[in-house]
């Protein structure tokens, strides 16, 4: 994945790579499809990934984001110069006795601040009482879908697939955390639940950045993209590419859009976790630069229209 600029990687800024592109449209509204809010002082919510004694399984030490709270107010303060029009919250609480409490807490945040507009919550998709729990989530207007890491080889488990079909019957999104080694299972899952919109989070979480791995990732992702009920979320790439540049992000962004088209690609920040690797403005400006070669209506779809349609926000 060779770069297109002669500048050293650490000097390849948005300005450097803008030279041979269309002008960047900075006022296109951005729907951030992947944010996390939390309150470690909440009496009923647990966030095991923020445990002071634990390291992140991929990133390692994330102590710099282990503040006591990260609330909608904090996100608004960080993102306010980036034309963020809406935000989708993706399950942050892990290990809570009742996952509906997070949906309630986030809904209270929306009433207070106007965000998040959509909530991808947590429920055990294999549970016998799934429908009853989904009914409880649905009491809150922002509820839009489920992310469930689940247990075992869950992508091929019929109980999980039945749960994913249940989401589709309710018009809800299934947010899938996967790796390139499991992409074929995600494609089969999508085929088994054709009425469910299935989101591939974080570009499928590619763990390496060499050419051979990229070719493998793209080959396997092609199978998912062939399923019309799937879409891809460009987000979280900094978790492995921790000193990212425009050149290092470009292949993953370009390939994602090539495979899924400008109508099945959305963007997210993975904030505040990706604050470990850049400022919010740097990341969103990088996204704007990387899509600047598309027609204005396509840029609008990529940055906001697709998310508004898919998440109904």
Kindly report, residue by residue over 135-144, the tens digit of the pLDDT. 999 999 999 9
Instruction: Give the CA diameter of the chain.
Output: 58
Q: Minimal CA–CA distance to 308: which of 270, 267, 272, 280?
A: 267
Specify burial of residue 307 (Cβ count, 10 A radius: 0-12, 13-18, 19+).
buried
Q: Minimal CA–CA distance to 153: which of 184, 132, 182?
A: 182
Q: What is the number of other CB atoms lying within 10 angstroms of the CB of residue 292?
A: 17
Q: What pLDDT is stored for residue 56 in this prediction?
A: 87
Residue 15 structure tokens: 């300005």
Residue linked to tokens 């499928």: 204
Q: Minimal CA–CA distance to 16: which of 29, 25, 7?
A: 7
Q: What pLDDT is stored for residue 25 in this prediction?
A: 64
Task: Return the domain boundaries, the chain.
Answer: 26-311
- Find the helix or strand (DSSP H, E) in which 143 lies: strand 143-147
Q: What pLDDT is stored for residue 27 in this prediction?
A: 84
Specify burial of residue 298 (Cβ count, 10 A radius: 0-12, 13-18, 19+).
middle
Q: Sign of the CA dihedral 188, 189, 192, 194?
A: negative
Q: What pLDDT is stored for residue 100 in this prediction?
A: 98
With respect to CATH, is domain 26-311 assigned 3.20.20.140?
A: yes
Residues of the chain with pLDDT under 70: 1-25
Taking the complete model, does pTM exceed 0.95, yes or no? no
Note whether 72 and 110 are within 8 A (CB). Answer: yes
Residue 37 structure tokens: 């809010």
């Amino acid at each position: 994945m060779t770069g297109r600029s002669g500048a050293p990687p650490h000097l390849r800024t948005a300005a450097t790579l803008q030279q041979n592109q269309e002008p960047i449209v900075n006022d296109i509204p951005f729907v951030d499809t992947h944010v996390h809010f939390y309150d470690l002082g909440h009496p009923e919510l647990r966030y095991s990934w923020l445990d002071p004694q634990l390291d992140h399984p991929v990133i390692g030490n994330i102590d710099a984001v282990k503040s006591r709270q990260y609330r909608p107010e904090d996100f608004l303060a960080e993102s306010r110069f980036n034309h963020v029009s809406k935000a989708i919250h993706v399950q942050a609480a892990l290990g809570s006795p009742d996952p509906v409490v997070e949906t309630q807490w986030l809904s209270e945040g929306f009433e207070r601040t106007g965000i998040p507009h959509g909530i991808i919550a947590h429920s055990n998709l294999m549970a016998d009482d799934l429908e009853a729990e989904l009914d409880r989530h649905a009491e809150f207007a922002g509820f839009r879908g489920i992310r469930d890491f689940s247990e075992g080889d869950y992508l091929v488990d019929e109980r999980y697939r039945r749960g994913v079909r249940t989401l589709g019957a309710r018009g809800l999104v299934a947010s899938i955390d996967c790796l390139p080694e499991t992409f074929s299972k995600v494609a089969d899952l999508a085929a088994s639940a054709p009425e469910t919109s299935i989101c591939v989070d974080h570009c499928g979480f590619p763990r390496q950045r060499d050419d051979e791995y990229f070719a493998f990732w793209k080959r396997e992702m092609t199978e998912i993209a062939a399923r019309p009920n799937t879409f891809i979320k460009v987000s979280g790439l900094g978790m492995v590419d921790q000193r990212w540049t425009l050149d290092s992000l470009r292949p993953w962004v370009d390939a994602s859009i090539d495979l899924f088209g400008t109508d099945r690609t959305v963007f997210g920040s993975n904030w505040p976790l990706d604050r470990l690797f850049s400022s919010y403005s740097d990341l969103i400006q990088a996204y704007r630069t990387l899509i600047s070669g598309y027609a204005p209506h396509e840029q609008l779809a990529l940055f906001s229209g697709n998310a508004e349609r898919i998440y109904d926000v």
